[in-house]
């Protein structure tokens, strides 16, 4: 290649190298400074509704409470999924949550403390159309939200009665709390509030417990009395045999042992 051409190409080559180097520096800076967007579960997306930050995961085939929910969320929709239970501190990182929809899942159990951290702001909790049979009132401790518990296969007993007294039900939802099972067959299929108008489950349980305690105490008392009677009779029999033995002894030895036996019996 002629010298003149090489002289002309040198600036072009240097320019290309400088451009490549500059582009590489820019890409490195962008990679260090920019954070990747949060990867939400498939079917979940954030939005804003009526000025409130909303996170929707309706019908997203979820089997657990999703992670990485924005902690400034005001309304959370987890309805129509396959969530089976609510673990302790499930919503601990959502201090600004106002509404929580968990309806139409397969929730069968709720651990104590599942709603911890929501007492201050939460005002609506929907647990309708799940598989709740029995839930401790402690699971809703200090919760001020209005709760929808309708359309669950409830066991009507003292535990449910205490739960209903603990929470504030959504207006019009009480008729949907129906006895799917009960100790008394005639209660099945009836609205729970209708049943407890005539039956106090907790009082019935207390009476049953008291009767069981009385029966147990009577049983122990009867055992003690039986043992005492047996003990006295056994001693009397032993004393009688000993006296008969003494009668067969010489008179001097018999008198001393008789006095000893009498003092022992007394």
Query: What tens digit of pLDDT does each residue of 184-204 get?
Result: 899 999 999 999 988 899 986
Q: Give me the chain's average pLDDT, please.
A: 79
Q: How many domains are contained in the chain? A: 2
Q: Are residues 227 and 98 in the same domain?
A: no
Q: What is the distance in angstroms between the CA of the first residue and the CA of the last residue of the chain?
A: 140
d(CA 120, CA 146): 13
Does some domain include residue 52? yes
Q: Is residue 17 part of a domain?
A: no
pLDDT 10s digits, 12-70: 455 555 566 666 665 555 444 443 446 788 899 999 998 999 999 999 999 999 988 99
Q: How confident is the model at residue 9 (pLDDT cuts 50, 70, 90)?
A: very low
Do 124 and 212 lie in one domain? The reply is no
Contacts of 96 (CB under 8 A, 6+ apart): 71, 72, 73, 74, 121
* 129 secondary structure, DSSP code: S
- Examine the domain organization and report whether 189 and 126 are in the same domain: yes
The answer to whether residue 169 sits within a structural domain is yes
What is the C-alpha separation between 209 and 32, in angstroms, rounded? 68
The pLDDT of residue 181 is above 60: yes
Identify the residue with better confidence: 132 or 217.
Answer: 132
Q: In this structure, are 132 and 101 located in the same domain?
A: yes
Residue 20 lies in a domain: no
121 and 184: one domain? yes
- 64 with 189, same domain: the answer is yes
| Contacts with 223 (C-beta within 8 Å, 6 or more apart), sequence order | none
Q: What's the confidence (pLDDT) of residue 67?
A: 87
Would strands 85-86 and 154-156 be described as parallel, antiparallel, or unpaired?
unpaired
pTM, two decimals, is 0.65
Claim to verify: residue 207 and residue 130 sit in the same structural domain: no
Say yes or no: 137 and 66 in one domain: yes
In a domain, 243, yes or no: no
Q: Do 223 and 107 share a domain, yes or no?
A: no
166 lies in some domain? yes
* Contact (CB, 8 A) for 109 and 83: no
Q: Higher pLDDT residue, 118 or 13?
A: 118
Decide if 265 is inside a domain: no
Give pLDDT tens digits for 126-170: 999 999 999 999 999 889 999 999 999 999 999 999 999 999 999
Q: Are residues 58 and 188 in the same domain?
A: yes
The residue among 173, 143, 137 whose CA lies nearest residue 158 is 137
d(CA 94, CA 231): 70
Domain extent at residue 220: 200-231
CATH number for 103: 3.80.10.10
| pLDDT over threshold 70, residue 208 | no
E strand or H helix that includes residue 148: strand 146-148
| Residue 119 maps to a domain | yes
Question: Are residue 192 and residue 223 in the same domain, yes or no?
Answer: no
Domain co-membership, 163 together with 108 = yes
**Can you say whether the dihedral through the CA atoms of 195, 199, 203, 205 is positive or negative?**
negative
């Amino acid at each position: 290649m002629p010298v003149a051409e090489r002289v002309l190409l040198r600036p072009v080559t240097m320019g290309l190298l400088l451009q490549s180097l500059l582009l590489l520096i820019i890409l490195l800076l962008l990679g260090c400074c920019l954070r990747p967007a949060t990867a939400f579960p498939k079917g979940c997306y954030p939005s804003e509704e009526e000025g409130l930050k909303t996170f929707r995961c309706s019908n997203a085939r979820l089997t657990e409470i999703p992670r990485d929910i924005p902690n400034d969320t005001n309304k959370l929709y987890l309805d129509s999924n396959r969530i089976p239970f609510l673990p302790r501190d499930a919503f601990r990182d959502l201090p600004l949550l106002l509404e929580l929809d968990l309806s139409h899942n397969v929730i069968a159990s709720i651990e104590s403390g599942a709603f911890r951290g929501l007492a201050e702001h939460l005002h609506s909790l929907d647990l309708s159309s799940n598989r709740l049979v029995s839930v401790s009132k402690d699971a809703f401790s200090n919760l001020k939200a209005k709760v929808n518990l309708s359309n669950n296969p409830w066991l009507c007993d003292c535990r449910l009665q205490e739960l209903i007294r603990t929470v504030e039900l959504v207006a019009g939802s009480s008729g949907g709390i129906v006895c799917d099972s009960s100790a008394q067959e005639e209660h099945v299929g009836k609205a729970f509030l209708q049943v407890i108008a005539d039956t106090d489950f907790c009082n019935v349980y207390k009476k049953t417990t008291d009767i069981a305690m009385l029966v147990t105490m009577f049983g122990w008392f009867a055992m003690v009395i039986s043992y005492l009677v047996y003990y006295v009779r056994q001693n009397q029999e032993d004393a009688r045999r000993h006296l008969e033995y003494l009668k067969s002894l010489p008179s001097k030895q018999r008198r001393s042992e008789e006095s000893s036996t009498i003092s022992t019996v007394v």
